[in-house]
A and B are shown apart, each in its own frame.
Chain A
Amino acid sequence: MGRRIKVAVLVVSMATLVAGRSPAADDPAVLKDLTAVIALQGQPCGQVVTATKQGDNDYIAACKDGSRYRVFVNAEGRVVVQKQ
C-alpha cells in the first residue's frame, strides 16, 4: 500500500508539473483573441506569436515585437493587460 501511494503521488506531482506550464495557447483563435485584447487596451504588441496559459482566463502572451503581457480576468470581471 505504501509503495502504491508513493507511485500515485509521484504520478500526480509529475502531471501537475508538466501540465502547469503547458503552452496550451497554440490555438490561433486564442492568439488572435489575445492580440485583439491587447490592442483594445491600447498596448503595443503587433501580434501575439505565443501564449502560455497560467490558469483560467489567465495567459502570458509573447508579442512579435518581443514584449510580453499577462492577460487575465480579475475578480471584478474586468480584463486586465499587464506588461511583464
Chain B
Amino acid sequence: MLESKGPIETVKSGDRAVTIGNCAGAMTVAILALLSQASDGRRETPRPASSAAVAENTRPEPIPAKEVEPRPRPPQLAAPATPRPPTTASKPPAVAAGPPASGQNEPPRAEPVPQQRPPLEKSQAPLASTPPPSTETASPPETAAPQPAKPTAATLDLTTLEQRLRDTKAIGVFTKLSLKNQVDDLLAEFREFHQKRDQTMLARLRQAFDLLVLKVLSLLQDGDPTLARDVSSSREALWNILTDPNKFQNL
C-alpha cells in the first residue's frame, strides 16, 4: 500500500510533493489506518503490517484513537501555518496533480479552521449569552415593581390578621377555634417571656411561632391563597410585634 502510494506521489507531484508526502502522507496513511481500525476490526491485521513498515508515526497501532489523534493534529496545526504562505503559490499544481493527496490534506486544513473558529464563536457566545441574563436580571425589577405593592398592603397587624382569619371561609369552625387556642397559648408564652425576660426562651418561642405560622399557611394556601401570602409576608412584622415588649403590651 505504502510502496505503491510512494511512487505515485513522486511521479505526480515531484520533489516538493515528495517532501510533503514523507510527512503528510505518512500522517494521512496513519489516519486512514486508524479510521479503518475504528470502523472495521478485520482490516486491523493487514494494515498494521504495511503501515508499521513505512509510517513510524503510527507506532501506537494498538493504542486507541484518542491517544493517536491528538499527536498528529498539533504538527498539522503548526506545520500548515508556516508552510502555507510559501506554498500557496507553488502548491496549486500539486493540488491539481494529486486530487487524492490534496483531498487528504485539505480536510486536516479544514479542521483547524473550524477549530479556530469555534473558540471565536464561543468567545462571542458568552458575550451574547451574558446580555440575556442582564436583560433577565433587568426584567425582574420591572416585574418585581408590582410585587412590592402587595407586601406593603400585606403587612398585617395582629388585629387585622385576626379579623381576616375570622372572615375567611377556607378554614372550618373547629379549625378556627383550635387555631385560636394555639394562638392564645403562644401569646401566654410570650407574656411569660416578657415578664421573665429570659432570652433562652426566645429560640423556643421562635420555633413555636414558625410552626404555628406554617399551620396557618397550610390551612390557607388552598382555600385563601391571598391571605396565605399576606400572612407569609407579614411573618417578620408579627414576630417583631411579639418580641418587642412595648408593642406586645399594646396588644
Contact = CB atoms under 8 A, between A and B. Distances in A.
Interface of A: 29-30, 32-34, 36-37, 40-41, 57, 71, 73, 77-79
B210 to A, nearest CB: 15
B182 interface: yes
B238 to A, nearest CB: 19
A37 B174 contact: yes
B161 interface: no
A9 to B, nearest CB: 35
26 contacts: A30-B172, A32-B172, A33-B171, A33-B173, A33-B174, A33-B175, A34-B172, A34-B174, A36-B172, A36-B178, A37-B174, A37-B175, A40-B178, A40-B182, A40-B215, A41-B178, A57-B174, A71-B174, A73-B174, A73-B177, A77-B177, A77-B181, A78-B177, A79-B174, A79-B178, A79-B181
Given A33-B175, A37-B175, A40-B178, 17 more contacts: A29-B172, A30-B172, A32-B172, A33-B173, A34-B172, A36-B171, A36-B175, A36-B219, A37-B172, A37-B174, A40-B179, A57-B173, A71-B174, A73-B174, A77-B177, A77-B181, A78-B181
Interface residues of B, number: 12
Closest 7 CB pairs of A and B: A33-B172, A79-B178, A36-B175, A37-B174, A33-B174, A40-B178, A78-B181
Interface string B207-219: 0000000010001
